Amino acid sequence: MTPSLPPSTRSPAAAGLSQAAQKQQFALQVCSECQTVQYPPRDVCAHCLGDALPWQPVSPYATLMASTTLHHSNEPYFQEKLPWRIGTVQLDCGPVAIAHLSASLQSGDRVCVSLELDPAGVGVLVAHPLSQTRHQETQP
């Protein structure tokens, strides 16, 4: 039996997530005009509608705002791995994102978000407890 893979269809703008994950970088689009960090990836800036959105390394630190455990999925890949924890993270660089949770994190926990390649070769966001990351959190 062939193992199922996660969904791999993404927008062309989202290809940068996979490229950053391949380089083991945490990079998102940053508007050249207003410097707003974009997530999810898009074709124009959500703030000023500028269309120059180069991928740049940004802070991977975030706060877990909320989490939930999925007990049902229509996707065979996720059905095989249920229950599956996901959460909403407020990235220090600005955007709010949904990330896979690597541990039993609680709302309010500080996390380090990484871009990782899933089994389909697509970049996904994964939140890790700060104690399990190689990064040191620095305060301004």
Report the C-alpha gap between 107 and 86 in whole angstroms.
12
In this structure, what token pair is assigned to residue 85? 């924890």
Q: pLDDT tens digits, residue range 26-70?
A: 999 999 999 999 999 999 999 999 999 999 999 999 999 999 999
pLDDT digits (tens, 9 = 90+) for 88-134: 999 999 999 999 998 789 999 999 999 999 888 889 999 999 986 55
Give the global pTM: 0.86
Question: Distance between CA 46 and CA 35 in Å, rounded?
Answer: 11
